[in-house]
Chain A
């Protein structure tokens, strides 16, 4: 700009109508934006309207019952962990190993890759042990999780309704295999709102392993479906910007970014007066949050202030996108009031080489998951943080070579923390681990239970779409009272 321009800027400043937008209230927003930077300029500015607080209060307000959980960390074991090598001990299956699977179990049942093949029993590939005072039976490949057995509620009677990965994930996350329905994290945020304004209320992290097929996973699994988009899960990337587009453009530091955002806010504020459009206030609020996110996300991801013993407990130096690193981030997210945190670990699809591979995958998650529970406990957060460990389905008691095929009639998960009885087991499969037979827990029941722990009656959290009141639990589901603390 030449000196002529400089004079012009001043001329414009002098000409400005000081009172033009005055009286619209002082600038809570301006102060927010300016808080980061001491501003020396004495240039008069148009005042900004008070920002609209755009915090979503949740539609379940008041809650249907007293809540036991405030947030959920879902350790989602993608690929379908074999219950027979993790949480469901079946000695009888060992005895029958190599013998044909009795037809009474399998007749007329859907089957995935074993279609048309001989169905033989396949012994559990790893031994089980009783852990803790509660004496819960857990496979030896989980020594660390075993060490927190007294915190766990193991459910051994899960069933789902889809046998292939993609629809089974969709079923586990949304309660249906049809695309376009909201994920449970979206439902919970829709129902309750988030406690943190500077971070999304539904955060997804994902890690890869080295021992199973890395099955694809779709963004549909954290999509808000027909709910408003603000409830969409935000995936934190392990490489590049943790949240897409959260970093300022190259060459632009935080102050320069602030200048631009500040100008946008002021200009938008002026426009409010012209158009009477309430959406502008929402936009102003969104830019405010976005600008704060640009600081809060890097702060969240920066684990340099985590003490050494904590890093050792989790078994990570952080920043490597590993499951352990994500567990640590999950705790940090939980501390910051993020409502629903979902950690995918995509290494559980063991069609072959089960003995070796499941031990490998177990090792990838064992320490981090156990550390997360211990860490939450020592911070007194486990009492209101629900933690769930489980996949989209289980695996067949029948051999597929030296592995196991997909299986939906019986599998296991564990829950811990927020309002769940610790140190218990619930439900059972038959003697060969094929079908859940005792206290069967359907995915709809699991969802109903989760919502219940948040203080929500699953039948009353609905959204009208295409003329129908949709629920996370579709038209079924009963909270599992027996496991509630």
Chain B
């Protein structure tokens, strides 16, 4: 819809939907849907429509109820007596409707239409999209494809003829792009061109629909609609792992999952009985929305935002409805009320999520990973049984141990710091109790180094205590505004060399910031205690090996604490201590023994309660020397399982809350206003009855969407598939089937397709095949001169569409032509080259984009890591959406920045070089066959003489240049990671790379016609 061509835009502005119909001859009977509603909707409904609150003079014109007929607003059959006619024809600025301040004005044609409509009886008809579709017979004698019958009947009616069938080269190129998003190879083109069999075309169609790339192609559109992306969207826009959902969508199209099942699994997969892994992944649809982690964000506000986001998305994806407009007021043009909006939102009120903060992913191991884990779990259970079983021998050993433990002693030795240094220039105060307090201004990031003095002879563990203090923000213990800190790295050094630490424990770790992160090798992980701001906590790290004083000299020890999170997330007050206690040494333990065990031990054995005895025995078994081999085996097995789990993908799935969030109408969307009545889930009132006797859930919503009673879903979907095959929908407003949307150009055809689709079991591949098998699809896209004048927008489909490839396909096409493509289907997102510094404005944390090496550089565009706040610039330039909202229809622009991408983005330069290499190796020995070869790859045809001449000139000049400019040739050929071949002449290769660049930049190369 949004072409950049000025003509197209002007057309859109100048003509309301109904006016696209050639001027009605006087004899043409007036159709309310086509002729009248668009006028009323555009000019009158804002004040005289469905929105009761904005309704003026108690008059509504959207339905023929009492208010229209009362007071002679409309006197059917008598325009002269109808005040409506009087008002729209008045000269008086006080009287004229619509009023001048509305900025609306009726044209004489519109006035005439309204008069004639009143004269003819002012019949109303329900809006077409809200009436159930009826399958009409195809007009004329039954042909092989009903599409052609409908299209041709309309063409005959408007006095036009279909275009001739396109040539086979064009057809296979078109089919390949439409069905797989990839170009046809020369071999595929040849095979088709030379196939004499009567079903040659159908064979190509079947091959492409069966290709795994079919699923990718269809998924790409779907992912735009459901706003799939790899990051959270708001503010810090951190990564979320959800690529399993993308795989699910691809696989669903590839396995031809019925669309009703596909719908149900996404909206309510988790509510199906014993949901499969796949259904759980599908339910991730409900988690694709934007979420925030911004400090100071209010949970209630964001809960309201998320609710509205889901309504906007689901209603656009499935209903082609702008239900989102009813958040603050009843819809101005369609019969959706504000209550409808909130009741629709209530369907999703059971989706478990965090209003403000990092969303918790669910591990979803693959089938193989799961099988391995199950086996390990059995081993673990056996080992645990051994560890949990008290034996007489253990009891004896325990008695001996109990005697050895004696009275509880604090075995931590506080270490007196000799000096504390800060990389950020922070001054410190060291208290008498060896507590260190940071003073002055907190650095954004900092590294503290503490030199330690201790006379301890043996060290097995080190402890870091962090303390609150009234002088710290939010009482500390950190110096960030919320009292937090992030300790990214904790190091113990001896003589400047790191001492290996292990088994980190803490009295408390913030979710996502486990204390283990302080001693791992990852830069971003670390220990934090948000959630316990203003509280004391401690972390304990065991030394892998005992640290011993064996030469009598004191240990030259220091501790280094790296805190690089930023914005002052540094520790404000802390103390260090060491111990020689026997391992395990854990945080929060007294004398190496947990507090509750200590308490139980304090009671003499005979007087202990069974629970106390049990506590001690259970604890003893965790340290009993006899069980050490079993514990080691358990630890090793557990590690194996943890590694498996860590290596398995995660996903944001939907989990249903037992107690859904309260949903009520928020007056004018104001989330602070809690005066509204609590609401339960229901579908929009005018579209059907609500479920009685129980609370409706998402499964009910899915059932309704895919039921025979739903007038919209099948139409909306087939229309979008039609757009894939023809370049625009039968309803051009893909996202709006309401009163303000475009009318279907071919309503009977749309309904025929919709009903067939539903009755045929929601068979997506069959639908696609039906469209591309039609003669209408196979027409040439070259408009005749007359067609250009009569139907420039091609609404009657007297020819095929002609348009630029979508962003991802522009890239994919180059990758296929150059031979660089890694055609792997599915998997985690890839990071192709991206200009340095493009992510400079991301923060919390700061991020450096690191492109993949090898495979990840050459994956299809749809696998590109989708950073919502900064989508990959090359894709964005070619109109890829940010995936923040549903994009039913992308822009199709044609801009200078696109030229810069194709000319200068390193992947296109590398692609040209790879293409050149392919030409030199496989394109024959001479210039002309090589050029033929290149053209056949890029545009599926051989070059014309004039084209050869232009290329030859370029080639000759550049070859001569690079012969004498070896350094330039070398630089040019080294763009991109692909190894420069040693066996090819560099000047020759460079000159062919120039040729390849020219060919890859052609309009034809990136055009589907």
CA distance A227 to B901 in the complex (A): 21
| Contacting pair A290 B899 (CB below 8 A) | yes
Interface flag for B958 (CB, 8 Å): yes
Chain A minimum-CB-distance residue to B836? A240
Quick one: CB contact mask for A254-266 with B, threshold 8 Å, 1 for yes? 0011011111101
294-311 of chain B: CB within 8 A of chain A:
294-298, 301, 305
The 7 closest A-B pairs by CB, nearest first: A467-B740, A251-B972, A251-B971, A112-B296, A218-B869, A290-B899, A179-B884
| Contacting pair B973 A251 (CB below 8 A) | yes
| Contacting pair A229 B879 (CB below 8 A) | yes
| Contacting pair A113 B295 (CB below 8 A) | yes
CB distance from A237 to the nearest CB of B (A): 5
| Contacting pair B298 A115 (CB below 8 A) | yes
282-330 of chain A: CB within 8 A of chain B:
282-283, 286-287, 289-291, 293-294
CB distance from B927 to the nearest CB of A (A): 5
| Contacting pair A259 B1003 (CB below 8 A) | no
| Contacting pair A246 B904 (CB below 8 A) | yes
CA distance A222 to B991 in the complex (A): 39
Interface flag for A422 (CB, 8 Å): no
CB distance from B304 to the nearest CB of A (A): 11
Interface flag for B835 (CB, 8 Å): yes
CA distance A281 to B876 in the complex (A): 22
| Contacting pair B296 A244 (CB below 8 A) | no
| Contacting pair A289 B896 (CB below 8 A) | yes
8 more A-B residue pairs beyond the given contacts A177-B305, A240-B835, A467-B741, with a C-beta to C-beta distance below 8 A: A16-B946, A164-B292, A234-B897, A267-B947, A279-B804, A283-B894, A290-B900, A346-B841
| Contacting pair B894 A352 (CB below 8 A) | no
Interface flag for B655 (CB, 8 Å): no
Which B residues are CB-close (under 8 A) to A267? 947, 950-951, 998, 1002
User: What is the interface residue range for chain A against chain B?
Assistant: 35 or more
Interface flag for B236 (CB, 8 Å): yes
| Contacting pair A216 B301 (CB below 8 A) | no
By a beta-carbon cutoff of 8 Å, the part of chain A in contact with chain B is 1, 4-6, 8-9, 12-13, 15-17, 20-21, 41, 43, 45-46, 56-57, 59, 108, 110-113, 115, 163-167, 177-180, 200, 206, 213-220, 223, 226-230, 234, 237-241, 243-253, 256-257, 259-264, 266-268, 270-271, 275-280, 282-283, 286-287, 289-291, 293-294, 346, 351-353, 356, 400-401, 403, 405-406, 459-460, 464, 466-468
| Contacting pair B901 A110 (CB below 8 A) | no
Main secondary structure of the interface of A (DSSP, over half): loop
| Contacting pair B972 A180 (CB below 8 A) | no
Which B residues are CB-close (under 8 A) to A464? 12-13, 740
| Contacting pair B882 A219 (CB below 8 A) | yes
| Contacting pair B974 A279 (CB below 8 A) | no
CA distance A290 to B899 in the complex (A): 6
| Contacting pair A259 B900 (CB below 8 A) | no
| Contacting pair A218 B896 (CB below 8 A) | no
Most chain-A CB neighbours within 10 Å: which of B897, B971, B974? B897
Interface flag for B975 (CB, 8 Å): yes
| Contacting pair B946 A278 (CB below 8 A) | no
Question: Contacts A165-B235, A467-B322 given: A400-B953 contact, CB under 8 Å?
Answer: no
Which B residues are CB-close (under 8 A) to A227? 2
Quick one: CB contact mask for B403-443 with A, threshold 8 Å, 1 for yes? 00000000000000000000000000000000000000110
| Contacting pair B869 A220 (CB below 8 A) | yes
| Contacting pair A275 B835 (CB below 8 A) | no
Which B residues are CB-close (under 8 A) to A251? 967-975, 990
By a beta-carbon cutoff of 8 Å, the part of chain B in contact with chain A is 2-7, 9, 12-13, 103, 233-237, 290, 292, 294-298, 301, 305, 312, 316, 322, 325, 332-333, 441-442, 473-474, 481-482, 566-568, 672, 733, 735-736, 738-741, 782-783, 785, 788, 802-804, 835-838, 840-844, 868-871, 873-874, 876-877, 879, 882, 884-885, 891, 893-901, 903-906, 909, 926-928, 944-959, 961, 967-975, 988, 990-991, 994, 997-998, 1001-1004, 1007, 1009
Most chain-B CB neighbours within 10 Å: which of A46, A177, A218, A460? A218
| Contacting pair A250 B971 (CB below 8 A) | yes
| Contacting pair A237 B835 (CB below 8 A) | yes
Which A residues are CB-close (under 8 A) to B1009? 275, 277
CA distance A307 to B672 in the complex (A): 56
CA distance A46 to B877 in the complex (A): 31
CA distance A307 to B248 in the complex (A): 61
CA distance A252 to B950 in the complex (A): 19
Question: Contacts A16-B945, A110-B672, A165-B235 given: A230-B298 contact, CB under 8 Å?
Answer: no
CB distance from A374 to the nearest CB of B (A): 29
Most chain-B CB neighbours within 10 Å: which of A218, A263, A291? A263
CA distance A15 to B868 in the complex (A): 53
Chain A minimum-CB-distance residue to B843? A216
| Contacting pair B296 A466 (CB below 8 A) | no
Which B residues are CB-close (under 8 A) to A12? 928, 945, 948-949, 952
Contact among B568, B740, B882 for A223, CB-based, below 8 A:
B882
| Contacting pair A218 B870 (CB below 8 A) | yes
CA distance A220 to B842 in the complex (A): 12
A-B CB contacts (within 8 Å), total count: 327
| Contacting pair B997 A260 (CB below 8 A) | yes
Question: Contacts A9-B956, A464-B12 given: A229-B895 contact, CB under 8 Å?
Answer: yes
| Contacting pair B955 A245 (CB below 8 A) | no
CB distance from B41 to the nearest CB of A (A): 8
CB distance from A474 to the nearest CB of B (A): 10
Which B residues are CB-close (under 8 A) to A59? 13
Which A residues are CB-close (under 8 A) to B897? 200, 234, 243-245, 290
Most chain-A CB neighbours within 10 Å: which of B297, B325, B961? B297
Chain A minimum-CB-distance residue to B2? A228
CA distance A278 to B7 in the complex (A): 10
Which A residues are CB-close (under 8 A) to B295? 113
| Contacting pair B882 A179 (CB below 8 A) | yes
| Contacting pair B894 A467 (CB below 8 A) | no
| Contacting pair B952 A8 (CB below 8 A) | yes
CB distance from B141 to the nearest CB of A (A): 34
| Contacting pair B903 A467 (CB below 8 A) | no
| Contacting pair B1003 A249 (CB below 8 A) | no
| Contacting pair B988 A1 (CB below 8 A) | yes
27 A-B interface contacts by CB (under 8 A): A15-B949, A17-B946, A41-B953, A45-B950, A112-B296, A215-B843, A244-B900, A245-B900, A251-B973, A256-B968, A259-B954, A260-B903, A260-B994, A261-B1001, A263-B954, A271-B1004, A277-B802, A279-B803, A279-B1007, A282-B5, A282-B894, A286-B895, A287-B896, A290-B899, A290-B903, A403-B481, A406-B296
CA distance A18 to B946 in the complex (A): 9
CB distance from A193 to the nearest CB of B (A): 11
Which B residues are CB-close (under 8 A) to A249? 903-904, 906, 909, 972, 975
Contact among B785, B894, B903 for A279, CB-based, below 8 A:
B894
| Contacting pair B842 A216 (CB below 8 A) | yes
| Contacting pair B332 A270 (CB below 8 A) | no
Which A residues are CB-close (under 8 A) to B898? 286
CA distance A246 to B835 in the complex (A): 11
| Contacting pair B297 A468 (CB below 8 A) | no
Which A residues are CB-close (under 8 A) to B927? 1, 5, 8-9
Question: Contacts A243-B900, A283-B1003 given: A468-B332 contact, CB under 8 Å?
Answer: yes
Question: Contacts A1-B991, A164-B292, A218-B870 given: A226-B2 contact, CB under 8 Å?
Answer: yes
| Contacting pair A110 B298 (CB below 8 A) | yes
| Contacting pair A280 B1003 (CB below 8 A) | yes
CA distance A242 to B898 in the complex (A): 16
CB distance from A181 to the nearest CB of B (A): 9
| Contacting pair B958 A268 (CB below 8 A) | no
Contact among A253, A289, A291 for B968, CB-based, below 8 A:
A253
| Contacting pair A164 B893 (CB below 8 A) | no
Most chain-A CB neighbours within 10 Å: which of B236, B567, B967, B969? B567
Contact among B739, B876, B895, B952 for A9, CB-based, below 8 A:
B952
Which A residues are CB-close (under 8 A) to B5? 278-279, 282
Which B residues are CB-close (under 8 A) to A228? 2-4, 9, 891, 893
Which A residues are CB-close (under 8 A) to B975? 249-251
